[in-house]
A and B are shown apart, each in its own frame.
Chain A
Amino acid sequence: MIQCTIKRQSISVLEGTTILEAAKQNHIRIPNLCYMEGLHSTGSCRICSVEVVGAKTLMAACVTEVREGMQVFTHSKKVQDARKMLYQLLLSDHHQDCLRCNRNLECEFQELGRELGVTQSLFQTTSSRSAKDEGPSIVRDTSKCILCQRCVTVCQDIQGVGAIRVQNRGFQSVVAPAMELPLAQVNCANCGQCTIVCPVGALEGTDATEIVWQALHDPNVRVVMQCAPAIRVAIGELFDYPVGTRVTGKLAAAMKALGADDVFDTNWAADLTILEEGTELLHRLLKSLEGQPAAFPMITSCSPGWIKFVEHQYPHLLDHLSSCKSPHMMLGALSKSYYAEKLGINPKKIFVVSVMPCTAKKFEITREEMIHDGLKDVDAVLTTRELGRMIRQAGIDFRQLKDIPFDQPMGFSTGAADIFGVTGGVMEAALRTVYTVLSGRPLPFAKLHVESIRGMDEVKEATLVLQDLLPQYHALEGAHVKVVVTSGLHGARVLMDQIQAGNSPYLFMEVMGCPGGCITGGGQPRSHDPEVRSKRMKALYEEDESKVLRESHANPSIDALYREYLGEPCGERSHHLLHTHYIKRAPIIP
């Protein structure tokens, strides 16, 4: 242990602790900006500068380790003046258009200015950077960038993509893709994790609220809205509920109050996905038992960030991907076919809006493969943050809304669908159904949970032994089904390299593009709670356990869909509406 004083307070901390961590552990606040706990401490913004007695210069608290007997002052006049000056310098190269910025009042840089007591701009300059890069998923506005490089760290170290980095030098420095190409022309997966960590308005999801308002206000358009599982455990945070509060009924009510004609649940399509994907897996297994070629492991395809990543990085391994569209695309396609037929209306009049925790879904709906018979499966994707904004814009008092259920016929879901929003969830849901289909018995685990594939470990695996199967599946008797789960593209790379090297022992693999899964996707509310992942995760498992039916194949409205419309899983109609193919992309598109 090391003894030192911070603000004259004697403290003792473990060797190797930085001044900033030591202060934090002892409830002493040191203002900071570029620092991200456990992820990013480069001392690049210098805002956390502190006075260390005996040191020649001020030290950046986030990168300076405490030493025995160190005396630290965090708010001396020298420090306060320096911090203000540092802030002024950052401000001098920042586009100060706060009133019209989407981060107004939710901006870390703005909050910091208030904390430091900065009330005027000392330097009147214009921003040295002005490029605006508006892609289908993400907008980059470099005039607002303060070069903290959090986005660079997340993209490179957490996601293993490295799409952006500092280019040029000095005043010309800019965080950008290679050769300052637009994001849409490089290997960006559109995961949006950069938009979560950006402290200012330099990186944000591409706005879809305008076109959604237009559709909602058009009397000739029937607006179908749907929302992903992860939204119900996160959107409450935008209305001051504690992190991890389940607000499913209010969420449905809010979408209705906005003017949606139908409020469906993407969960319903998640159940459908399990039947399609589970059947696909079974077909592959049986095919390989007959000696025909089949790519294993089969890999889930619900996460469009993951899909774009694999298309760029492993274009020769695309046959491992399940051909299933992601659940909201399935629901969109069925809204314009199955549901339109039921209503007897022209599908061209239906406008499908998906509320997603994800920025990559914004790109996904623009893919050519997602347009059928001249119709887009989904017309607009709103992130959780955007829906929150629209609810405010409409003057809806979210907390006072009365809970309502989702509309039928695409609103009922089982517990298996809820956990689609969390890492390991799709796999667990699939195992619940595949095991029951093969054996006629429920998955033999407590509460149907596959514990070993839950949580935040990068790579998680489980083995399921198939025993006492139904007679028609006799060929699979005794098989060991080894599955693996990862979240975050860094882990995905590890598992894909294994497949590439030809030594992947798995049959089925789940990948979600964002660490933790959709609960902390790039479109979710930005949270300061370090336990945001575990709290939202817990909430989704509670949602699952709160339901009577917890296996996708038990969903009666999915059963009805197959009886009335699709025929059988992976049948001809399914293939037309619910399945897709992938595109080989270069590592970077010149």
Chain B
Amino acid sequence: MQVSQVEQVVKKIPDSQELEKILNLIDLYGNRPENLIQILHGTQQIAGHIPLTLQCIIAEKLSIPVSEVSGVVSFYSFFSAKPRGKHIIRVCLGTACYVRGGKKLVETLQHKLQVNLGETTADGQFTLEIARCIGACGLAPAMMIDDEVFRQVNPNKVDSILQQYEGGRSS
């Protein structure tokens, strides 16, 4: 995935209102439908999520139906149409992590954060998701918070990990 390239593009956009930035982004990608995924990545980076209103704007600019934009947004788990938390927790449920207690980890997190999978905590700090193998099978069970990987996480470690992110401190 060309996330890093998209990041570079987003960095080039001068600081302005969110919507203006997104329009600028679409322009940088030449208003071309084949760049839809990159545009969605950039939009998500700028706005945090891609609600229907933004999907409509993207669709109009690219001259494609909104149903197509929504189809892509809902297909990829990295895109979200709903607001997401400040930090994204992804618990790996690939085979290795699954057998070594990944599921228990999910349950613990659900309980501690009081959210279901895909949901965001009431204070907007965390969104809980699952991932299908993050390539850290030797460190199972693994989870990621934003870009950081945590190895051999057991339910007892969860509190101390979460504490690193609470109270506005980020990695």
Query: Is A bound to B?
Result: yes
A408 at the B interface (CB under 8 A): no
B144 at the A interface (CB under 8 A): no
Residues of A within 8 A of B55 (CB): 178-179
The one of B56, B60, B67, B76 that contacts A164, using a Cβ cutoff of 8 Å: B67
Residues of A within 8 A of B162 (CB): none
A162/B75 contact (C-beta < 8 A), A178-B52, A178-B55, A179-B81 known: no
Render A560-590 as a binary contact track against B, CB cut-off 8 A, 1 for contact: 0000000000000000000000000011101
A162/B65 contact (C-beta < 8 A), A167-B70, A168-B74, A169-B74 known: yes
- Complex: how many Å from CA A178 to CA B81? 11
Render A156-194 as a binary contact track against B, CB cut-off 8 A, 1 for contact: 100001111111110000001111010000110000000
Closest chain B residue, CB of each to CB of A164: B67
- Complex: how many Å from CA A177 to CA B69? 10
- Complex: how many Å from CA A165 to CA B36? 16
The answer to whether B56 touches A165, judged by C-beta atoms less than 8 angstroms apart, is no
Residues of A within 8 A of B138 (CB): none
Residues of B within 8 A of A156 (CB): 65
Of A161, A169, A179, most B-chain CB atoms within 10 Å: A179
The answer to whether A167 touches B74, judged by C-beta atoms less than 8 angstroms apart, is yes
- Complex: how many Å from CA A359 to CA B76? 34
Shortest distance from the beta carbon of A140 to any chain B beta carbon, whole Å: 13
The one of B56, B70, B74 that contacts A587, using a Cβ cutoff of 8 Å: B56
Residues of B within 8 A of A168 (CB): 74-75
B interface, over-half SS = helix
The one of B56, B71, B76, B81 that contacts A588, using a Cβ cutoff of 8 Å: B56
Residues of A within 8 A of B67 (CB): 162-165, 167, 176-178, 186
Render B50-66 as a binary contact track against A, CB cut-off 8 A, 1 for contact: 00110110011000111
- Complex: how many Å from CA A590 to CA B57? 12
B68 at the A interface (CB under 8 A): yes
The one of B53, B59, B64 that contacts A590, using a Cβ cutoff of 8 Å: B53
Residues of A within 8 A of B66 (CB): 162, 177-178, 186-187, 587-588
Shortest distance from the beta carbon of B11 to any chain A beta carbon, whole Å: 30
The one of B52, B68, B76, B81 that contacts A165, using a Cβ cutoff of 8 Å: B68
- Complex: how many Å from CA A161 to CA B64? 10
Closest chain A residue, CB of each to CB of B68: A165
Of A161, A166, A176, A588, most B-chain CB atoms within 10 Å: A588
Shortest distance from the beta carbon of A494 to any chain B beta carbon, whole Å: 14
Shortest distance from the beta carbon of A449 to any chain B beta carbon, whole Å: 38
Of A163, A167, A178, most B-chain CB atoms within 10 Å: A178
- Complex: how many Å from CA A178 to CA B64? 12
Closest chain A residue, CB of each to CB of B77: A169
The answer to whether B53 touches A178, judged by C-beta atoms less than 8 angstroms apart, is no
Shortest distance from the beta carbon of A477 to any chain B beta carbon, whole Å: 43
Q: Which of B58-106 contact A (CB under 8 A)?
A: 59-60, 64-71, 74-76, 81
The answer to whether B60 touches A178, judged by C-beta atoms less than 8 angstroms apart, is no
Residues of B within 8 A of A165 (CB): 65, 67-68, 70-71
The answer to whether B52 touches A587, judged by C-beta atoms less than 8 angstroms apart, is no
- Complex: how many Å from CA A415 to CA B117? 64
Render A441-464 as a binary contact track against B, CB cut-off 8 A, 1 for contact: 000000000000000000000000
Closest chain A residue, CB of each to CB of B70: A178
Shortest distance from the beta carbon of B108 to any chain A beta carbon, whole Å: 25
Shortest distance from the beta carbon of A154 to any chain B beta carbon, whole Å: 13
Residues of B within 8 A of A164 (CB): 67
The one of B53, B65, B69, B75 that contacts A161, using a Cβ cutoff of 8 Å: B65
Q: Which of A173-220 contact B (CB under 8 A)?
A: 176-179, 181, 186-187
Shortest distance from the beta carbon of B81 to any chain A beta carbon, whole Å: 6
Shortest distance from the beta carbon of A63 to any chain B beta carbon, whole Å: 21
Shortest distance from the beta carbon of A588 to any chain B beta carbon, whole Å: 5
Shortest distance from the beta carbon of B68 to any chain A beta carbon, whole Å: 6
Residues of B within 8 A of A178 (CB): 52, 55, 65-67, 69-71
Residues of B within 8 A of A167 (CB): 67, 70-71, 74-75
Residues of A within 8 A of B53 (CB): 590
Closest chain A residue, CB of each to CB of B67: A165
Closest chain B residue, CB of each to CB of A590: B52
- Complex: how many Å from CA A176 to CA B76? 17
- Complex: how many Å from CA A163 to CA B52? 14
Residues of B within 8 A of A176 (CB): 67
Residues of B within 8 A of A162 (CB): 64-68
Closest chain B residue, CB of each to CB of A172: B74
- Complex: how many Å from CA A178 to CA B55? 9
Closest chain A residue, CB of each to CB of B71: A165
Closest chain B residue, CB of each to CB of A177: B67
- Complex: how many Å from CA A590 to CA B66? 11
The answer to whether B56 touches A179, judged by C-beta atoms less than 8 angstroms apart, is no
- Complex: how many Å from CA A587 to CA B60? 8
- Complex: how many Å from CA A345 to CA B66? 50
Render A304-341 as a binary contact track against B, CB cut-off 8 A, 1 for contact: 00000000000000000000000000000000000000
The one of A163, A169, A590 that contacts B56, using a Cβ cutoff of 8 Å: A590
- Complex: how many Å from CA A162 to CA B65? 5
Residues of B within 8 A of A177 (CB): 66-67, 70
- Complex: how many Å from CA A164 to CA B71? 9
Residues of A within 8 A of B74 (CB): 167-169, 179
Shortest distance from the beta carbon of A151 to any chain B beta carbon, whole Å: 11
Shortest distance from the beta carbon of B31 to any chain A beta carbon, whole Å: 16
- Complex: how many Å from CA A164 to CA B68? 8
Known contacts A168-B75, A178-B67, A588-B59; 14 additional CB pairs below 8 A are A162-B65, A163-B67, A164-B67, A165-B67, A167-B70, A168-B74, A169-B76, A179-B52, A179-B74, A587-B60, A588-B56, A590-B52, A590-B53, A590-B56
29 A-B pairs (CB sep. < 8 Å): A156-B65, A162-B64, A162-B68, A163-B65, A163-B67, A164-B67, A166-B71, A167-B67, A167-B75, A168-B74, A168-B75, A169-B76, A177-B66, A178-B67, A178-B69, A178-B71, A179-B52, A179-B70, A179-B74, A179-B81, A186-B67, A187-B65, A187-B66, A586-B56, A587-B59, A588-B56, A588-B59, A590-B52, A590-B53
Residues of A that sit less than 8 Å from B by CB: 156, 161-169, 176-179, 181, 186-187, 586-588, 590
- Please list the 3 inter-chain residue pairs (A to B) with the smallest Cβ-Cβ separation, ordered nearest first: A162-B65, A178-B70, A165-B67
